[in-house]
Amino acid sequence: MKIISGELKGRNFYLPAHIRPTQNIVRKAVFDLIGHDLSGLTFLDLFAGSGAIGFEAISNKAAQVTFVERDSKCFEVLQQNISHLKIIPYMNRPVPYALINNDAFASLKLLARQKRKFDIVFADPPYGRELAKIVIISATGKINKAP
């Protein structure tokens, strides 16, 4: 898979065999909506998987990206991708990132206790477990129902 925009555009990274990554068209749409210059912004990539979205954020100049991934195989690939992409030496600027190998919801509680705040939070949970609904409820404390 390739990074599709920004400073690292065209660079390849690895995918864990057992996941369905966020498709290129979705990644492009996300960054078309939020912008391609994330200078000074902090970014949280929940359910990071291979790190595709977080790498796009780094490539688009995010000041700091935190990757959260519970699955040990995905986390191992995420670590390999960080090393493979050589992000900091390649980009000639500090790009602080954090890797958290933990459940997304436990990580949100930990980050809140640490008073960590993010400008952009991206969550793309695995399908079929209704985790998206739980993320929305966790983030807002409620779920809006249509009248």
Predicted pLDDT of residue 147: 43
Instruction: Kindly list the distances between the CA atom of residue 70 and the CA atoms of 52, 78, 105, 133, 139, in Å, as whole numbers in the listed order.
Output: 16, 11, 10, 18, 19
Q: Is residue 58 part of a domain?
A: yes
Q: Is residue 19 part of a domain?
A: no
Q: Is residue 16 part of a domain?
A: no
pLDDT in tens, the chain (147 residues): 899 999 899 999 999 888 887 888 999 999 999 999 999 999 999 999 999 999 999 999 999 999 999 999 999 999 999 888 887 655 666 667 899 999 988 998 899 899 999 999 998 887 666 565 555 555 555 545 444
If DSSP states are collapsed to H, E and C, what string results for 19-79?
CCCCCHHHHHHHHHHHCCCCECCEEEEECCCCCHHHHHHHHCCECEEEEECCCHHHHHHHH
Structural domain boundaries, residue 49 = 24-140
Chain center to CA of 90: 20
Query: Number of folded domains in the chain?
Result: 1
Q: Which two tokens stand for residue 25?
A: 């068209």
Predicted pLDDT of residue 105: 86
CATH number of the domain at 122, please: 3.40.50.150
Predicted pLDDT of residue 23: 83
Q: Is residue 13 part of a domain?
A: no
Q: Is residue 70 part of a domain?
A: yes
Predicted pLDDT of residue 18: 83
Q: Is residue 132 part of a domain?
A: yes
Q: Is residue 104 part of a domain?
A: yes
